[in-house]
Amino acid sequence: MAPNTTPSSGNASPSLSVLDAPLASPVHPTAARSPADAITVQGENTIYTDEYITSKFINRGADVVVQEGGRYVIKPTVTPFEFRTQRKVPRTGLMLVGIGGNNGTTLVATILANRHNIAWHTKSTIQRPNYIGSLLRASTIRLGLDETGKDVYAPLSDLLPMVHPNDLVLGGWDISGAPLDAAMKRAAVLEWDLQRQVAPYLKQLGAPLPSIYYPDYIAANQEDRADNVIPGTNKGAHLEQIRKDIRDFKAANNLDQVIVFWTANTERYSEIIPGVNDTAEAILASIENSHEEVAPSTVFAVASILEGAPFINGAPQNTFVPGVIKLAEQYKSFIGGDDLKSGQTKLKSVLAEFLVNAGIKPLSIASYNHLGNNDGRNLSSQRQFRSKEISKSSVVDDMVAANHLLYKTKAEVEAEQEASTGEKVKDVKGEHPDHIVVIKYVPAVGDSKRAIDEYYSEIMGGGRSTINIFNECEDSLLATPLILDLTILAELLTRVNYRELTNGPDADFKPLYPVLSLLSYMLKAPLVKPGTDVVNSLSRQRNALEMFLKACIGLEGSSDLLLETRIW
């Protein structure tokens, strides 16, 4: 893809006829720019310099000893930290793998529409461009109380200096060589009048860079699109080409930072094989040897790690095999994933948590989807569907495991089975709701995905409760804001360093751990530090992100206690 500049409002536009000229439109609040110092904390825990925001934060936890007879002994823990955030927002590029797909073209067109403030006609009104659906751009955070005792809320994006989406420099790869304006038309996601006006800007970006195509990893029905691929079968050569593409894009656009984002087809799962993909050295050797169990997405991830570019996986396959995670640790390069959480799964994480926290016991959760975009076409292949099924099926696991009053633990199930059979049973799991996921490809509905969920639960006295939900959503219009959030947060987290003050005031600042689990709110199957538990609860994910951003400016976490309203 040709070098890409980020025009300001004063730059000349592509040649347009009077008929094509963009409609004048006020800037939507979600796309408005806030001052760099929109939020300033005045307190002993926060120091501002021209270069950094430095804050002190007390991480309060608890060590628990579980004793016999249902007794718990709790020892509160207190660990002091200091966070340091670079204030200067770097010139940032976003390279999308799959830029010519539904998500890729929708994201590029949305940014261009906002950047050039292009409004468009619908059948009933004039629509302004916006970033609705973005956690950062379209949601707020409670800061505290004003002088009258009323809550004060501010945009979440104002807490710390963050990249504005309009400023992202765009580029990427695709196995289809269609120019982006033609690819947008093929995707058929956006209103025609918006496509008409934004097409000249997409045309300026040209065609995607050639991408990696290994037919075994995606559905056979994608072969007819694969006309823009890096030649040959040498995966080591492919790795070097992707690394060169990242370097060239960064240099050509004078960038400080590049984020690489996989929004291409869902791949089949890679088999985890000792000596092939279980260590950093093994995965590098397997790429050089063109091993069959190295996926295209893994090659992109490794290239990004070696180039120091954060890599986010927006699809459900196991891109981050153990060797990739270990390689990221070695290079201290950020990775995050997996699978964008846009519709049904996000709702499921909320409703399942509500039921379990209300003391109601879900017995089964049955989810059915059908959609007609290219994602649905690729998922019509069983091996690719299996990747999606795995990412969707784990969303209630942590909520179930958190309530042993409703669900028997693994130890309890083992004891029951041993008592009834007289012998120890192998591979026993704890009690869990039956959970089934079905996805069907229905071309007629296009990008408009239909999702049906049934929650069948036990209530008091052996009674039953059933909740049925029908959810219709435009898939790419929900996914695109998540890509922006993940990109912006990944960039921000590269500028945050920390040190534990228990190691002394002269301890060195360090970067965060490479696996960015703080991105979990936007992901179906969050990647976490090996050996730690996955949190799927949407409220806990949001609260963790809020608390971290507040900690970076020296504020305490959630103030939902509202103690001032409960005392004299």
Active site residue 427: no
Beta bridge partners of 53: 48, 85
Cα separation, 210 vs 300, whole angstroms: 13
Residue 487 has which token pair? 């990109």
Cα separation, 260 vs 476, whole angstroms: 19
Q: Is the dihedral of CA 543, 546, 548, 550 positive or negative?
A: negative
Which one-letter amino acid corresponds to residue 261?
A: F
Residue that is written with structure tokens 């656009």 in the block: 253
Q: Which of 245, 339, 375, 485 is catalytic?
A: 339
Cα separation, 501 vs 81, whole angstroms: 5
Active site residue 449: yes
What would the 3-class secondary structure string for 99-120 be?
CCCHHHHHHHHHHHHHHCCCEE
Spacing of C-alpha 367 from chain mean position: 22
Active site residue 339: yes
Q: What is the DSSP string of 473-526?
A: EEHHHHHHHHHHHHHHHHHHHHTEEEEEGGG-TTPPPEEPPSB-GGGGGGBSS-
Q: How far is CA 476 from CA 187, 207, 292, in A?
A: 10, 20, 31
Cα separation, 540 vs 414, whole angstroms: 30
CB 564 within 8 A of CB 145: yes
CB 381 within 8 A of CB 215: no
Beta strands in 409-447 (DSSP E): 434-441
CB 387 within 8 A of CB 269: yes
Which one-letter amino acid corresponds to residue 28?
A: H
Active site residue 392: no
Pick the closest to residue 296 from 388, 226, 221, 390 (CA basis).
226
Q: Is 334 exposed, middle or buried (0-12, 13-18, 19+ CB in 10 A)?
A: buried
Q: Which of 235, 326, 361, 449 is catalytic?
A: 449
Pick the closest to residue 105 from 486, 447, 525 (CA basis).
447
Q: Which of 388, 392, 453, 550 is catalytic?
A: 388
Which one-letter amino acid corresponds to residue 211?
A: S
Q: Which of 185, 250, 392, 524 is catalytic?
A: 524
Which one-letter amino acid corresponds to residue 460?
A: M
Cα separation, 176 vs 195, whole angstroms: 19
Cα separation, 424 vs 219, whole angstroms: 42
The helix/strand/coil state of 75 is strand
Residue 505, number of CB atoms within 10 A of its CB: 7
Q: How far is CA 52 from CA 47, 159, 272, in A?
A: 8, 14, 42
Helices 322-331 and 280-288 pack at an angle, to 10 degrees, of 110
Beta bridge partners of 384: none
Residue 304 has which token pair? 């990004």
Pick the closest to residue 513 from 501, 535, 491, 496 (CA basis).
496
Active site residues: 339, 388, 449, 524
